């Protein structure tokens, strides 16, 4: 089976595609990746170590997410995301589309990550089966289950989804409609499903134990399990200084806001440091604003470490509600205090609270006092710790990329109706 995979975005958007490509290759298939990183990260060494062919489009971006946010005149996340698209997506759209056409020409099926609707356009142009990879099962409409940001009342499902569909149409249809029209392709009606989903197969890289599918979903939606890298691809040993910090006292809390740190860098660092001190707990603070690693009394600052290795050494995780980070905390069996920036992250935060594995507070309403109180409550709650441990035991049995590979094999073999 020849599979082409394409993605745009930061680390959380692209790593799952790389993980799937690695699993496809391990299963004896050919996988080719086209990636458009917005964070300046070079994924070629990782892909090379996994034996996966990868092409970056463009080879070098004129501006990175970090530079863009540093020069921004507004801290409004909506305006910042618009700027990100204006400077890192639309200028390269035609180049990404050309790469999409090349993938389609040499693939039996193509898989597009979030914001890869140009690959869907190419698949329609070439009649190549298109599969969408998504990280949020909560955006699949249901007549029985409302969106995650609403109360879970069945009667609320229809009006809530109608409202959310309007919001998605306003946010995600303008550019695709114009692009599809220019290419002579079928018109875009709504963001869901025309922009975001496939009419053949949608792979949701999320744990079915944590976020099970709604009972009325069709078979084209598959909640596979988390997509994560082979363990051998990311070996890690803590530095002597970090190892000493971990030995010196109780398990610290891990604080990390991922790539979203770039969207409010000064506020993030101040909030995390002051909140950790307010909580009066030992803390490891991951920050991408500095390459310096070091200790400041009961705080340890760390530029980078694989979460899958670091989180099990901690007592809890404070994070932004990204799909990968949410799964990381649960897979480590750690309760979470979630500080979401945007709607998608609020969905994850709400789900964490609903399953009883943590609590949350909007990043934009957070103060050191509120966050300190939140994390003290999370760490001190035996039921939250137990539920997080239960989730870890369920998730360890899941094989997200394996399930996804099996579904792709079935699709290409003609076992799934178009």
Chain-centroid distance of CA 58 in Å reads 22
248 with 382, same domain? yes
Residue 164 placed within a domain = no
Residue 169 placed within a domain = no
Cβ-contact 12, 322 below 8 angstroms: yes
Cβ-contact 135, 204 below 8 angstroms: yes
From the number of C-beta atoms within 10 Å of its C-beta (0-12, 13-18, 19+), residue 63 rates as middle
Rounded Cα distance, 375 and 170, in Å: 36
Residue 212 placed within a domain = yes
206 with 291, same domain? no
Q: What is the pLDDT of residues 135-164, one digit of tens each?
A: 989 889 999 999 888 888 899 999 999 999
Three-state secondary structure call for residue 412:
helix
pLDDT of 215 reads: 94
Query: Residue length, the chain?
Result: 418
Residue 192 placed within a domain = no
Residue 213 has pLDDT above 50, yes or no: yes
CATH at 358: 3.40.50.2000
pLDDT of 308 reads: 87
Q: What is the pLDDT of residues 392-410, one digit of tens each?
A: 999 999 999 999 999 999 9
315 with 203, same domain? no
Residue span of the structural domain in which 217 resides: 2-140+197-226+398-412
Over residues 306-327, the mean pLDDT reads 92
Residue 157 placed within a domain = no
Q: What is the pLDDT of residues 247-295, one digit of tens each?
A: 988 999 999 987 777 667 677 888 888 999 999 999 999 876 667 788 8
Over residues 107-132, the mean pLDDT reads 96
339 with 287, same domain? yes
Q: What is the pLDDT of residues 218-240, one digit of tens each?
A: 999 999 999 988 877 778 899 99
Q: What is the DSSP string of 94-125?
A: HHHHHHHHHHHHT-SEEEE-TT-HHHHHHHHH
Residue 178 placed within a domain = no
Residue 187 placed within a domain = no
269 with 210, same domain? no
60 with 205, same domain? yes
336 with 374, same domain? yes
Residue 67 has pLDDT above 90, yes or no: no
391 with 404, same domain? no
pTM score of the predicted model: 0.91
317 with 368, same domain? yes
Cβ-contact 116, 7 below 8 angstroms: yes
240 with 381, same domain? yes
Residue 20 neighbours by CB under 8 Å, 6+ apart? 5, 31, 111, 133, 203, 205, 227, 401, 404, 405
Over residues 41-66, the mean pLDDT reads 89
Rounded Cα distance, 154 and 270, in Å: 41
Residue 107 has pLDDT above 80, yes or no: yes
Over residues 48-58, the mean pLDDT reads 95
219 with 249, same domain? no
375 with 304, same domain? yes
Q: Count the domains in the chain.
A: 2
Tokens linked to 61: 């971006």
Closest CA to 362 of 384, 345, 380, 379: 345
Residue 53 placed within a domain = yes
Residue 367 has pLDDT above 70, yes or no: yes
Residue 74 has pLDDT above 60, yes or no: no
Over residues 91-117, the mean pLDDT reads 96
> Which comes out higher in pLDDT, residue 230 or 338?
338
């Amino acid at each position: 089976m020849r599979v082409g995979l394409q993605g745009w975005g930061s680390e959380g958007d692209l790593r799952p595609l790389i993980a799937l490509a690695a699993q496809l290759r391990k299963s004896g298939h050919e996988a080719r990746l086209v990636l458009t990183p917005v964070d300046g990260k070079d994924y070629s060494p990782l892909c090379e170590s996994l034996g996966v062919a990868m092409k970056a489009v463009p080879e070098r971006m004129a501006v990175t997410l970090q530079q863009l946010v540093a020069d921004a005149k507004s801290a409004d996340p909506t305006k910042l995301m618009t700027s990100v698209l204006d400077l890192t997506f639309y200028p390269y759209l035609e180049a990404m589309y050309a790469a999409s056409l090349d993938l389609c020409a040499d693939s039996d099926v193509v898989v597009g990550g979030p914001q890869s609707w140009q690959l869907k356009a190419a698949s329609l142009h070439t009649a190549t089966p298109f599969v969408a990879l998504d990280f949020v099962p909560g955006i699949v409409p249901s007549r029985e289950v409302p969106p995650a940001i609403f109360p879970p009342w069945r009667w609320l499902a229809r009006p809530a989804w109608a409202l959310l569909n309007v919001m998605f149409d306003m946010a995600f249809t303008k550019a695709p409609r114009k692009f599809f029209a220019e290419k002579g392709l079928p018109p875009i009606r709504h963001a869901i499903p025309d922009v975001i989903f496939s009419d053949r197969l949608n792979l949701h890289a999320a744990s079915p134990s944590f976020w099970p599918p709604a009972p009325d979903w069709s078979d084209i939606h598959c909640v596979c399990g988390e997509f994560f890298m082979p363990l051998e691809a990311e070996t890690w040993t803590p530095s002597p200084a970090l190892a000493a910090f971990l030995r010196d006292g109780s398990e610290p809390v891990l604080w990390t806001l991922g790539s979203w740190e770039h969207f409010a860098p000064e506020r993030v660092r101040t909030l995390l440091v002051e909140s950790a001190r307010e909580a009066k707990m030992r803390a490891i603070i991951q920050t991408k604003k500095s390459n310096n690693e070091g200790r400041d009394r009961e705080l340890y600052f760390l530029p980078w470490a694989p979460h899958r290795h670091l989180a099990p050494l901690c007592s809890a995780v404070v994070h932004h509600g990204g799909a990968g980070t949410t799964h990381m905390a649960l897979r480590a069996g750690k309760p979470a205090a979630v500080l979401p920036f945007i709607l998608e992250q609020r969905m994850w935060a709400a789900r964490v609270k609903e399953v009883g594995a943590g609590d949350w507070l909007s990043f934009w309403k957070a103060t050191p006092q509120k966050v300190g109180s939140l994390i003290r409550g999370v760490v001190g709650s035996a039921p939250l710790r137990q539920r997080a441990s239960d989730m870890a035991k369920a998730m360890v049995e899941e094989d997200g990329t394996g399930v996804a590979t099996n579904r792709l094999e079935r699709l290409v073999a003609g076992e799934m109706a178009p």
